[in-house]
Amino acid sequence: DAADAAAMGRLFDRFGADLPPLGGIYLAAMSGSPVTLADMTHDDTVAMFRSKMDAGALLDTLSRDHPVEQFVLFSSISGVLGSRWLAHYAATTTFLDTLAFARRAAGLPACAINWGLWKSLADAQTGVELAATLESGLEPMDDAVAITALSAFVGPQAPARATVVAADWPRLAAAYRSRTPLHIVDDLLVDGTAPEPVALTGDTPLREELRTSEPQRRLDLLTDHVSAQVAAAMGLSSTHTLDPAIGFFQFGMDSLMSVTLQRSLSESLGEPLPASVVFDYPTVEALTDYLASILPEIIETVGADSGGGTGAADTSAAAEDAYDDLAEDELLARLSERLS
C-alpha cells in the first residue's frame, strides 16, 4: 500500500542500506469504480484519493532524501476533459499534475502524463463501456506505443506535464464542445478534418407537417416529435416511459446521448440549435417550449391565440422553471454532466 506511511517509511529506510539507492519512482494507481456524482459515496472518494493523492504526496515527501532522478506520475486525460463517471478520478489526476509542477518549481524531477485509453484497459471494458468510450472520440492506444512514448517524457528536458492519447479528434472536439464553449482541442484538428456543419434550411418533412397541420395540433406534433427523439437518443423502446416533466438526466441520459439528441433535433427541424440546448432545457416540456419559441409555425399559432406571441422572455422563464422544478438529485446529475 503506497499510501501506508509506516510501511513505506520502512521501505525507504532500506534504500541505500540493504537495497540499492533509489533512482526513480513511478506511480500508476487507481482504486474504486466509475460512479456519477449523484451516486458517489464517501467511501468511493476515500478509496480513489488514497491510492493516488495520498500515495503521491507521501512518495514526494519520502523521496526527497534520496537521489531520485525520475518521479513519474501516471495521470489521465480525464483530468483534461473531465469525466461524468470518474469525477473523483479526474480530481486526483489534476492533483498529480499539480504535484509535478510543484516539484519542478522546487528543483526536483517530476513528470505527470495524462494518458488516454491503453488497449489492455480497453480490452477489459464491456461492450457498452467501450462503445461509450469510442463515441466520445477516444481510441484504444497500443500498449507498446504508450510505453515507447513514455521514454520521451521522463528526462530533465521533458515537460512537467504531457498528454499522450489516441483519438478521433473531430469526434472528440464535437463531443467536448457540447460540454463547454472552451475549444481546447481545436488546435489539434488538422485543416479539413473539422466536421462540416450540416446545411440546415428549415425545409424538412417535420416542418412541412407542421405547416400543413391544423394550428391547434402543431404544438402536440412538436411535443410528440421531441419525445420520440429523446427516446431514440436514449435507446428507449417507447416514449410511454418518459415523463415530460422529469429531467432527462434523471432518466439516465448522459453527455453523449445529449449530443445525439441535439444533432437529431437540429437536422429534423432544419434549425441550428445551441450545443447546450439539452442541458439548458432538460425536460420534454422545457425543450418543447424552447423549440416552440423559435419555430415560426408555432409562434404564429401561439400569437394568434394569445394576441402577444411568445418570445425571449417566455423562453428564459421556461429555462428558469426547468431548474426550479428539478429535485436535488437531478440538479446534482446536471452538475455532473456540466463538469464532464
Q: Is 119 within the bounds of a domain?
A: yes
Are residues 150 and 260 located together in one domain of the fold? no
Give the confidence band of 191 by pLDDT, cuts at 50, 70, 90. low
The alpha carbon of 30 is separated from its chain's Cα centroid by a whole number of angstroms, namely 19
pLDDT tens, position by position, 138-182: 888 999 999 999 988 887 788 999 999 998 888 777 766 654 555
Are residues 27 and 128 located together in one domain of the fold? yes
Q: Which own/partner contact pairs does 75-80 have at CB distance under 8 Å and 24+ positions apart?
A: 75/112, 75/113, 75/114, 75/115, 75/161, 76/114, 76/115, 77/114, 77/115, 77/116, 77/117, 77/138, 77/163, 77/165, 79/114, 80/114, 80/163, 80/184
Q: Is 195 within the bounds of a domain?
A: no
Are residues 160 and 219 located together in one domain of the fold? no
Final residue before a domain boundary, out of 149, 171, 193: 171
- In this prediction, residue 303 carries a pLDDT of 53
Structural domain including 233 reads 205-339
Q: Is 74 within the bounds of a domain?
A: yes
- The CA distances from residue 177 to 132, 133, 144, 170, in Å, are 17, 16, 31, 11
In whole angstroms, give the CA distance from residue 234 to residue 141: 28
Looking at the predicted structure, is the pLDDT value of residue 19 above 50?
yes
Q: Is 116 within the bounds of a domain?
A: yes
Are residues 99 and 10 located together in one domain of the fold? yes
Q: Is 311 within the bounds of a domain?
A: yes
Q: Is 177 within the bounds of a domain?
A: no
Are residues 9 and 157 located together in one domain of the fold? yes
Are residues 139 and 246 located together in one domain of the fold? no
Looking at the predicted structure, is the pLDDT value of residue 226 above 90?
yes
Final residue before a domain boundary, out of 155, 171, 187: 171
Are residues 162 and 76 located together in one domain of the fold? yes
Q: Is 301 within the bounds of a domain?
A: yes
- What's phi and psi for 240, nearest 5 deg? -65, -25
Give the confidence band of 311 by pLDDT, cuts at 50, 70, 90. very low
Once rounded to an integer, what is the mean pLDDT over residues 66-83?
Answer: 89
Number of domains in the chain: 2
Q: State the DSSP H helix or E strand holding residue 25, giving kind and residue range, or none if neither.
A: strand 24-27
Looking at the predicted structure, is the pLDDT value of residue 192 above 60?
no
Are residues 165 and 16 located together in one domain of the fold? yes
Look up the CATH number of the domain holding residue 331: 1.10.1200.10
Are residues 19 and 117 located together in one domain of the fold? yes
Of residues 30 and 218, more confidently modeled:
218
Look up the CATH number of the domain holding residue 43: 3.40.50.720
Final residue before a domain boundary, out of 121, 150, 171: 171
Q: Is 255 within the bounds of a domain?
A: yes
Are residues 98 and 210 located together in one domain of the fold? no
In whole angstroms, give the CA distance from residue 213 to residue 257: 30
Highest mean pLDDT among 45-59, 188-202, 316-330: 45-59
Are residues 166 and 213 located together in one domain of the fold? no
> Measured on CA atoms in the order 32, 100, 106, 13, is the torsion positive or negative?
positive
Closest Cα partner for 9 from 67, 56, 63, 74? Answer: 63
- In this prediction, residue 313 carries a pLDDT of 42
Are residues 136 and 68 located together in one domain of the fold? yes
